[in-house]
Structure 1
Amino acid sequence: MIKILVVDDHTIFRSGLRKLLSDEPDMRVDDEARDVGEMLAKLRRASFDVVLLDVSMAGRSGLEAMPSVRAEFPKLPVLFLSMYPAEQYAVVALRAGASGYLTKDAESEELILAIREVAAGRRYLSSTAAQRLLLQTVGGDDDQPPHHRLSAREHQIMLMIVQGISLTEIGKQMFISVKTVSSTRTRILQKIGVDNNAELVLYAVRHRIVHG
């Protein structure tokens, strides 16, 4: 039996996953967590075979949490579920230590397959994301787009900026100061090679990080 911990800040989504996976004879959702702090506490108290982890949550993001997860649970399979396109974000997730990456609009059959794959110690990516990762591996770092060089926190803040969220609101959602958000924004613009938020949005649309 594959024991699963679902980590997502949306109650309806967690409930939907629990109901979906309840039909599978070889897996069950043993517990749920709303944020990274709750996830780490539950991982320390109980044993799980797979963690289904949302990339972006209020406060500390799933990506930012991976160093802590890997430090305490180095062999625990973590499958990221996200609304962000896999072909652009999967590389960041794997570098952070994820076992796999799926978008939340994936078919239920693919999710179930992915869970079984990572539970067996393998990695899972959609075919599109896998092809892109292979091309980047063959091409080397010079062929990677600039946003793949961002840190986990920089990625999260970039995504929030291009969604039109103010720096003040970003700080509130991530529990960090506006000054920290502002300095991070400056680093993002420098790494991407753009001068302002409008150019950052155009970059995000052009690279299919968000849909225009």
Structure 2
Amino acid sequence: MLELLVVDEHSIFRIGLKRLLSDEPDMQVTGEASDGASALLSIRSHAHSMVVLDINVKGHSGLETLAAIRAEQPRLPVIMLSMYEGEHYAALALRGGANAYLSKNAEPEEIVRVIREVGRGTYPLPSVAGTVLKQLPHIGSHSSHERLTPREMQVVMKIVKGQSISEIGLSMVLSVKTISTHRTRALGKLGLTSNAQLVQYAVRNGLVD
């Protein structure tokens, strides 16, 4: 029996995944956490078979949580399940030690299949991750955007696509002030000062066509 710890800041998603897996005879959700700190506490107190970890959780980011898990339990299988489909995020997850990377938009059957096969030790790679794995030595090895948090990266990509701060706030259900803060922090990490420079950076580093 695969005993899964589901780490996601949205209770609706945790409930949905728990419901999806309830019909599977060989897997069971035995732990839930909304943030990285709680996830680590659960891992220390229960012998979970696997962790399904969102890349964007409260407190420590999903990638930071992944690093902490790898430091304490390097052999514990971790599947990064995220709303982000871009190869950049898959690369970060795989380089951080995730066993698989899936979009939350994946079909339920695909999610179940990957969980089962990772549990068996076959470590399957979805299409996006398979492509990225071949490029791991080259993707972002000297790129400043690897220091961006998933939320900062999401804001940057929306700016690059021409969305205004207010439009981004509406789409992400965040205040204009919060979006502006993410933008400012991203610019600082990238050593840039304007949206125009962001676009140039994105094109130069292959983040957009």
TM-score of the two chains, using structure 1 as the length reference: 0.76
Once the two structures are TM-superposed, the CA of residue 152 in structure 1 deviates from its matched residue by 5.5
Question: Which residue among 153, 168, 189 is the counterpart of 1:158?
Answer: 153
Once the two structures are TM-superposed, the CA of residue 54 in structure 1 deviates from its matched residue by 0.3
Write the letter of the residue equivalent to 1:39. Answer: A
In structure 2, distance between residues paired with 1:151 and 1:42: 28
CA contact (8 A) 1:63 1:93 kept: yes
Write the letter of the residue equivalent to 2:178. Answer: E
Once the two structures are TM-superposed, the CA of residue 97 in structure 1 deviates from its matched residue by 1.2
Q: Gapped runs of 5+ residues in structure 1?
A: 172-177
Residues 120 and 147 (structure 1), Cα distance of their counterparts in 2 relative to 1, 3 Å cut: farther
Structure with higher RCO (Cα < 8 A, 6+ apart): 1
Give 1:83's aligned residue: 83
Write the letter of the residue equivalent to 2:55. Answer: V
CA contact (8 A) 1:5 1:51 kept: yes
Give 2:164's aligned residue: none
In structure 1, distance between residues paired with 2:143 and 2:88: 8
Residues 90 and 22 (structure 1), Cα distance of their counterparts in 2 relative to 1, 3 Å cut: same
Give 1:19's aligned residue: 19
Give 2:121's aligned residue: 121
Give 2:70's aligned residue: 70
Once the two structures are TM-superposed, the CA of residue 71 in structure 1 deviates from its matched residue by 1.1
Equivalent position SS for 2:75: coil
In structure 2, distance between residues paired with 1:83 and 1:107: 13
In structure 2, distance between residues paired with 1:101 and 1:16: 19
CA contact (8 A) 1:147 1:155 kept: no
CA contact (8 A) 2:101 2:125 kept: yes
Equivalent position SS for 1:106: coil
Give 1:185's aligned residue: 187
In structure 1, distance between residues paired with 2:149 and 2:142: 9
CA contact (8 A) 1:5 1:33 kept: yes
Report % sequence identity. 40
Q: Gapped runs of 5+ residues in structure 2?
A: 159-167, 170-174
Give 2:195's aligned residue: 197
Equivalent position SS for 1:60: coil
Residues 184 and 87 (structure 1), Cα distance of their counterparts in 2 relative to 1, 3 Å cut: closer
Give 2:51's aligned residue: 51
CA contact (8 A) 2:145 2:153 kept: no
Matched, 1:169 2:178: yes
Write the letter of the residue equivalent to 1:114. Answer: V
Give 2:207's aligned residue: 207
In structure 2, distance between residues paired with 1:197 and 1:128: 28
RMSD: 3.1
Aligned length: 192
TM-score of the two chains, using structure 2 as the length reference: 0.77
Matched, 1:107 2:107: yes
1:112-136 CA deviation, whole Å, 9 max, x = no partner? Answer: 11111221233232123312432x2
Give 1:175's aligned residue: none
Once the two structures are TM-superposed, the CA of residue 104 in structure 1 deviates from its matched residue by 0.1
Once the two structures are TM-superposed, the CA of residue 5 in structure 1 deviates from its matched residue by 0.5
Write the letter of the residue equivalent to 2:81. Answer: L
Once the two structures are TM-superposed, the CA of residue 198 in structure 1 deviates from its matched residue by 5.0
